[in-house]
């Protein structure tokens, strides 16, 4: 067990040490990203508020992430609901096809979508093209989360509502939806986080208004802007951890409500 423990500790250090360095250099007074540190400062965070182009990119990313989370979760609800109902011809194949973006390289997905949107459909690149692409890659995550919420429901609850005079829609709205709401919130948070941080597809499909990751990539060409990138990265890491913690909380809350023993999660 000792070698396995050493491996686990080394792996965690390798994985999280670069993230731990972000706040160190974000509060460093020097413009060179290197040790030794030259002093404590918060001026790089202050510069974020004065960078209008960066704030515009952040606004684009927040809008794209919010729309992506809503659309991906709505489609995920429909797919997870269908998957939890009685079997139908081709059910497994259809669900497997919907989940395919999980294993496809993003560079291939981005290139294919760019060709379809520009050459086939003749669409102009904008925030909405990025949203459509992000929905494609976020929906499998939403389905994976919501599948557990729907599969753990007792079918007798809906049947009881139908016996009491409710139709299929009202039974879903009044009985099923409140029970799976923790899973829905978790799906929204996870989809929002994935879309907010995504770079490759946004780089291919963004229009004249870049997203935040694309704008940060452009800043890397200017060494003097690296501390500002570190400051922004510190904020993003903190936000991502909070969103993932909230998503995990609602996921576990949904499992507890359904009376299912938790066997692991995001965190």
What confidence score (pLDDT) does residue 70 get? 94
- Which has the closest alpha carbon to 114: 204, 207, 202, 203? 204
Distances (CA, A) of 19 to 23, 139, 146: 8, 27, 30
* Cα–Cα distance, 158 to 169 (Å, whole number): 10
- Which has the closest alpha carbon to 204: 113, 98, 92, 87? 113
Query: In angstroms, how far apart are the furthest CA atoms of the chain?
Result: 72
What confidence score (pLDDT) does residue 69 get? 93
pTM of the full predicted structure? 0.76
Query: 17-50, pLDDT tens digit by residue?
Result: 777 777 777 777 766 666 776 777 777 777 777 7
SS3 of 28, please? strand
* Cα–Cα distance, 232 to 209 (Å, whole number): 18
Contact 224, 208 (CB under 8 A): no
Distances (CA, A) of 148 to 9, 82, 258: 31, 13, 10
What confidence score (pLDDT) does residue 267 get? 47
| Residue 32: DSSP 8-state | S
User: Could you say which of 3.20.190.10, 1.10.3470.10, 3.40.190.80, 1.10.3720.10 is the CATH number of the domain covering 51-258?
Assistant: 1.10.3720.10
* Cα–Cα distance, 68 to 131 (Å, whole number): 6
Residues in the chain: 267
* Cα–Cα distance, 154 to 133 (Å, whole number): 34
What confidence score (pLDDT) does residue 255 get? 60
Distances (CA, A) of 135 to 60, 130, 180, 209, 212: 16, 9, 21, 19, 18
What confidence score (pLDDT) does residue 96 get? 77
Successive 10-residue mean pLDDT values, the chain, 267 residues: 80 78 74 70 76 84 93 90 73 77 84 88 86 91 84 71 71 78 85 88 86 82 74 78 75 61 50
E strand segments, 47-205: none
């Amino acid at each position: 067990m000792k070698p396995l423990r050493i491996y686990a500790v080394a792996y965690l250090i390798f994985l999280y040490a670069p993230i731990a360095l972000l706040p160190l250099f974000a509060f460093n007074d020097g413009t060179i990203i290197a040790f030794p540190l030259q002093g404590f400062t918060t001026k790089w965070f202050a510069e974020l508020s004065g960078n209008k182009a960066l704030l515009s990119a952040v606004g684009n990313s927040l809008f794209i992430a919010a729309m992506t989370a809503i659309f991906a979760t709505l489609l995920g609800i429909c797919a997870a609901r269908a998957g939890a109902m009685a079997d139908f011809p081709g059910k497994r194949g259809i669900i497997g096809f919907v989940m395919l973006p999980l294993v496809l390289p993003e560079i291939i997905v981005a290139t294919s979508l760019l060709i379809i949107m520009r050459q086939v459909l003749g669409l102009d690149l904008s925030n909405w093209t990025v949203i459509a692409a992000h929905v494609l890659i976020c929906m499998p995550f939403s389905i994976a989360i919501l599948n557990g919420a729907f599969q753990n429901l007792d079918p007798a609850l809906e049947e009881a509502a139908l016996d009491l005079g409710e139709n299929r829609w009202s039974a879903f709205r009044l009985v099923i939806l409140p029970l799976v709401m923790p899973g829905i919130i978790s799906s929204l948070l996870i989809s929002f986080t994935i879309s907010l941080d995504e770079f490759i597809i946004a780089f291919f499909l963004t229009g004249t208004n870049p997203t935040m990751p694309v704008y940060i990539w452009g800043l890397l060409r200017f060494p003097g802007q690296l501390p500002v990138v570190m400051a922004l990265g510190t904020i993003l890491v903190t936000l991502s951890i909070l969103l993932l913690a909230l998503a995990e909380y609602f996921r576990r809350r949904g499992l507890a409500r359904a009376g299912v023993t938790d066997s692991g999660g995001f965190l």
